[in-house]
Amino acid sequence: MNALSKDVIPSGTKRSSLAALNDWVAEVAALTQPDAIHWCDGGDAEYAALIAQMQADGTLIKLNEQTHPNSWLHRSHPDDVARVEHLTFVCTTDKEDAGPNNHWMSPADGHKQMDELFAGCMRGRTMYVIPYCMGPIDSPLARCGVEITDSAYVVANMRIMTRMGAAALARIEREGSFVKGLHSIGELDPNRRYIMHFPEELAIKSYGSGYGGNALLGKKCHALRIASHQARNEGWLAEHMLILGLENPQGETHYIAAAFPSACGKTNLAMLIPPEGYRRDGWKVWTIGDDICWMRPGADGRLYAINPEAGFFGVAPGTSEKSNPNALASIQHDTIFTNVGVTADNQPWWEGLDHGTPVKDWQGRDYAPGNGPAAHPNSRFTVSAKQCPSYSPKAEDAQGVPISAIVFGGRRASLVPLVFEARDWTHGVLVGAAMGSETTAAATGAVGVMRRDPMAMKPFCGYNFADYFSHWLSFDKPGAKLPKIFHVNWFRKGDDGKFLWPGFGDNLRVLEWMIKRVKGEVDAIDTPVGALPKAEHINLDGIDLSDEARTKLFGFDRNGWRAEFASLEEFLGEFGDRAPHALKVEQQRIAAQLD
Ligand code: OXD
Ligand code: MN
């Protein structure tokens, strides 16, 4: 039988317990009118058939089999290259529940608008039903969903990014609940494109885009927007964070979760290779996840985290031997590249790669520098996490890993030092809420504009930020053994506009200091905005920092912070009375100390 011709729930599955799923699939089919329905089993034969079909219809272009076995290039529609925050909605009964941080529509209007778009949209197409699990299949922290899509490219990516297929379907059958995601690429028309979320129904409807963050519904739509809502109701956290394990020469591993906005180096930090001297001494970084972290308190009061994803949907440009050798090693085979350039011998190419010359750009045109970069700035690779040399076996642990430190960070050219530590949990929540960063190419719109991006969740929090801050504060209760909270800024610039900190592998020096603080091994310099490292406690051996760099990376600019806190007060004011009192008190306490 053709691996792509199944049109019923796979045999062996009890129809009765999957009635809700079956009914929904029938309802969607009646609305969208596909020519065929395919239930995805997630197997190798299915994947091979999908790839062959996409190669035949031009959706995928085969890359050099010698240098990049089983790897493919997809060129998206040129207007469909990033997340579309202005077209992303949270549909809650009460507008205030979505908050000023989200675009809102009533659920009735949202469904009506989307169903009009979906009507008949799959005529002539196959409708794929993708059962998937976010997180290790046997983890109590994991959650399941089903995505219906008319895009084979989405199916292939979901197979890499999630635990997809038969095992997920079996878990859905057991649990009886799942997130419903309906997706169609529609006409890929930006004027007929919406990404809508219905958190009260655990449902998503996405139309008109094939781009990862808009179309792989397990990722941003489920694992962040819907999951953040679920997490609030169920007492856990769904966060835009990497998770790494830092192993010291004594063989002790501390796990760190870090929230940076999109395209600000989460993948690089998660896969960091320690500087030479550290490697020699036996330091190692283990990768658990590079984008999303689900955490909840364990019986011992600590926060335990899983990576709900099974793959990496990483930004290609800038990925090199210097910035991220582990990512580069991961994507030498069995990888889907989207919107990169290609060399004369058909290897993928992007700006920042150490070798090769592009002959075609991301749109398939002959490469001409006058047309802009060869690879789109938000071009991506999709690859299984298992291909990453630093992937931690603990990433598959059903119980998750205990988190010792939470790190917030953004792209801040000025003011914000390399690292500081929050005095306690409440202060740490304020530090997260105050996060600011310059925008990047991961979303459409202007790049390089400073905006508040609390906990790096501005595009992803599925409910009112005021309630989200309260939810964060609620974890500080008797018996809790919460991680320490830090803030970092790898992007501080000098007067000449150049970065002052070398970054990449050298960021380990900062992580090492954090763990010394976690273990209570060193003291620090108290300032109103947090504790700064003493010069002797952060290892700068082998790196050459100018006097300007030392002052700016480790200094405290009282006047600058005063202005920052005035703007933070204004920001918290946007949430009115709903903003937690404790956070306002904390802001005022620090503002008073700065005066
Ligand atoms: C991503 C993003 O793709 O944050 O991870 O945009
Ligand atoms: Mn992200």
| Integer Cα distance of 351 and 338 in angstroms | 14
Q: Cβ contacts of residue 275 below 8 Å, gap of 6+?
A: 505, 506, 508, 509, 542
Tens digits of per-residue pLDDT, 311-356? Answer: 999 999 999 998 999 999 999 999 999 999 999 999 999 999 989 9
How far apart, in whole angstroms, are the C-alpha atoms of residue 451 and residue 428? 19
pLDDT average, residue stretch 15-20: 71
pLDDT for the residue 387: 98
Residue nearest to atom 1 of ligand 1 (CA): 262
- Name the residue of 76, 81, 83, 453 whose CB sits within 8 Å of the most ligand 1 atoms, as the mutation to test its pocket: 83
Given a cut of 70, whether residue 421 has pLDDT beyond it is yes
In the predicted structure, residue 414 carries a pLDDT above the cut 50: yes
Closest atom of ligand 1 to 315 CA is: 3
For the stretch 48-80, pLDDT in tens is 999 999 999 999 999 999 999 999 999 999 999
Q: What is the 3-state secondary structure (H, E, C) of 281-316?
A: HCCEEEEEECCCEEEEECCCCCEEEECCCCEEEEEC
Percent of the chain topping pLDDT 90: 93
The counts of H helices and E strands in the chain are 17, 30
146 lines ligand 1 (CB under 6 A): no
Nearest CA to ligand 1 atom 3: 213
Residue whose token pair is 């949430």: 575
Answer whether residue 258 shows pLDDT above 80: yes
Q: Does residue 2 have a pLDDT over 60?
A: no
The segment(s) of the chain belonging to CATH 3.90.228.20 are 238-311+392-594
Cα 124 to averaged position of ligand 2 atoms, centre (Å): 33
* 224 Cβ below 6 A of ligand 1: no
Q: Whose CA is nearest to atom 2 of ligand 1?
A: 262
Confidence of residue 8 (pLDDT cuts 50, 70, 90): very low
Q: What percent of the chain has pLDDT over 70?
A: 97
Left (φ > 0), alpha (ψ -120 to 50) or beta: where does 377 sit? Answer: alpha
Fold of 238-311+392-594: Phosphoenolpyruvate Carboxykinase; domain 3 (3.90.228)
Q: Assess whether pLDDT exceeds 60 at residue 11.
A: no
- Count CA atoms closer than 13 A to 525's CA, side-chain side: 14
Pick the CATH number of 16-60+77-235 from 3.40.50.300, 1.10.510.10, 3.40.449.10, 3.30.300.30: 3.40.449.10
- The residue-averaged pLDDT of 267-273 equals 97
Examine the residue annotation and report whether 264 is marked as an active-site residue of this protein. Answer: yes
- CA atoms of 469 and 186, how far apart (whole Å): 37
Distance between Cα 263 and ligand 1 center (Å): 7
pLDDT at site 539: 96
Does 442 contact ligand 1 (Cβ within 6 A)? Answer: yes
Using DSSP, state whether 39 is helix, strand or coil. strand
Q: Is the CB of 334 under 6 A from ligand 1?
A: no
- From 157, 211, 291, 444, give the residue whose CB has the most ligand 1 atoms within 8 Å, as the site to mutate: 291
Residue 6 — pLDDT band, cuts 50, 70, 90?
A: very low
Centre of ligand 1 from the C-alpha of residue 309, in Å: 13
Check 144, 264, 388, 461 and give the catalytic one: 264
User: 162: exposed, middle or buried (C-beta count within 10 Å: 0-12, 13-18, 19+)?
Assistant: buried
Question: Which residue has the CA at smallest separation from atom 4 of ligand 1?
Answer: 262
pLDDT attached to residue 1: 31
Tell me the C-alpha distance between 236 and 294, whole Å.
Answer: 7
Residue 178 pLDDT more than 80? yes
The arithmetic mean of pLDDT across residues 399-422, rounded, is 96
Question: How far is the centre of ligand 2, averaged over its atoms, from the C-alpha of 152 (Å)?
Answer: 23
> What does pLDDT average to over the chain?
95
Query: Does the C-beta of 475 come closer than 6 Å to ligand 1?
Result: no
Q: What is the pLDDT of residue 5?
A: 46
**Pairwise CA distance, residues 244 & 82, whole Å:** 26
In the DSSP assignment, the letter for residue 206 is E
Indicate which ligand has the atom closest to the C-alpha of 82.
Answer: 1
385 vs 11, residue with greater confidence: 385
- Asked whether the predicted pLDDT for residue 12 surpasses 70, the reply is no
Q: Is the CB of 262 inside a 6 Å radius of any atom of ligand 1?
A: yes
Q: Is the pLDDT of residue 16 over 80?
A: no
- Burial label for 546, CB within 10 Å (0-12, 13-18, 19+), is exposed
pLDDT tens digits for range 104-134: 999 999 999 999 999 999 999 999 999 999 9
Per-residue pLDDT of 293-316, as tens digits, reads 999 999 999 999 999 999 999 999
Query: Residues spanned by CATH 3.40.449.10 within the chain?
Result: 16-60+77-235
Q: Is 291 in the pocket of ligand 1 (CB under 6 A)?
A: yes
Give the N- to C-terminal CA distance of the chain in Å, as an integer. Answer: 75
- Ligand 1 within 6 A of CB of 338: no
Class assignment of domain 312-384?
mainly beta
Confidence at 576, pLDDT banded by 50, 70, 90: very high
pLDDT category of residue 17 using cuts at 50, 70 and 90 = low
The pLDDT-based confidence of 446 (bands split at 50, 70, 90) is confident
